Amino acid sequence: MTAETSQPYRERFFFARDGLRLHARDYPPAIPDDSRAPIVCLAGLSRNARDFHPFACTIADELGRRVVALDYRGRGRSEVDANKANYTLAVECADVETALEALGIENAVFVGTSRGGLILHLLAVAAPHRLKGVILNDIGPVIEPKGLQEIAAYLNRPQTPGNWEEAAAILRNTHGAAFPALSQDDWHDMAHAIYVERDGAIVADFDPAIARQLLAVDLTGPLPDLWAQFDAFRPFPMLAIRGEHSSLLSPGTLAAMARRHPRLTTFTAAGQGHAPLLHKPDVLAAIKDFLLTV
């Protein structure tokens, strides 16, 4: 949804352990199903809670599940961190635990897109009691360097759109080849999720220091894997989604995840790359089927 005529969520603010002010969107269900755990959504590296808006509205309305979408530090409505060294998986994992405490969530089904899924690998080791189920969106324990190279390139090639039409066009020109399934409305919705209007300009809604960190990573060879952490997911039901054209999660890694995890279901999002939009009908149907079991 590009324009929200009514606000189906509450703005929630709380403080990280180091005092930074963090933000989340909290979507209450229309008819609560108190027997089911809430859904907690974790976005990608430079993304924010707005990514999950159409998905969260549908799950809250149709399945009666509370949905919470977090803004990591330096993204969305959370504060920018003056200490750029804090933009790490470990710190962000601790922030997720703080969010759960602040929002009164004992455990949840987690949706982790890209960076969010990496955070969940750490959370499964540090606080397994927080997990009821896991949805990994185009991420796994092995990251393809080519995919990370592409992310580093476009995040560090800032373009300032003059209007929202240009913002959608920039995204379509950058990612369109990997996302033939997306409509013009999808690109406009994505623009409003990624960009924000600030001081009369339309800008990407994250601290640029987050993108610059990628420039220091050696992407010429294999990256360290997280198989040991992935094994901590074994007690929990899991859905692993891969974009058909993803360059970050390979088909081989997805197959290896399925062999290694006895309770894992895989799904390929047709016509999408990294990372699939969760509210597209085929992906949403697979997620709803999974959520009915956890």
Q: For residue 250, is pLDDT > 90?
A: yes
pTM of the model: 0.96
In this model, does residue 4 exceed pLDDT 80?
no
- Closest by CA position to 55, among listed 72, 43, 37, 46: 43
- Rounded to 10 degrees, what is the CA torsion of 22, 27, 28, 34? -80
pLDDT (tens digit, 9 = 90+) per residue, 102-111?
999 999 999 9
Average pLDDT of the residues in 82-107: 98
Cα 246 → chain centroid: 15
For residue range 187-231, list pLDDT tens digits in order: 999 999 999 999 999 999 999 999 999 999 998 889 999 999 999
Return phi, psi of residue 142, to 5°.
Answer: -125, 125
d(CA 196, CA 201) in angstroms, rounded, equals: 8
Closest by Cα among 190, 153, 164 to 182: 190
233 has pLDDT over 90: yes
Q: Is the pLDDT of residue 2 over 90?
A: no
Q: Which of 140, 109, 280, 294 lies closest to 223 in space, CA to CA? A: 140
The residue length of the chain stands at: 294
Q: Residues 178-188, buried b or exposed e (16+ Cβ, 10 A)?
A: bbebbeeebbb
Angle at 45 between CA 60 and CA 77, to 5 degrees: 60
Is residue 3 predicted with pLDDT exceeding 60? no
Residue 91 has pLDDT above 70, yes or no: yes
Please give the full DSSP string across 182-195, using - where no structure is assigned. --HHHHHHHHHHHE
Q: CA-CA distance, 68 to 41, in Å (whole number)?
A: 6
Contact 264, 258 (CB under 8 A): yes
What average pLDDT does the chain have? 96
Check: CB of residue 275 under 8 Å from CB of residue 138. yes
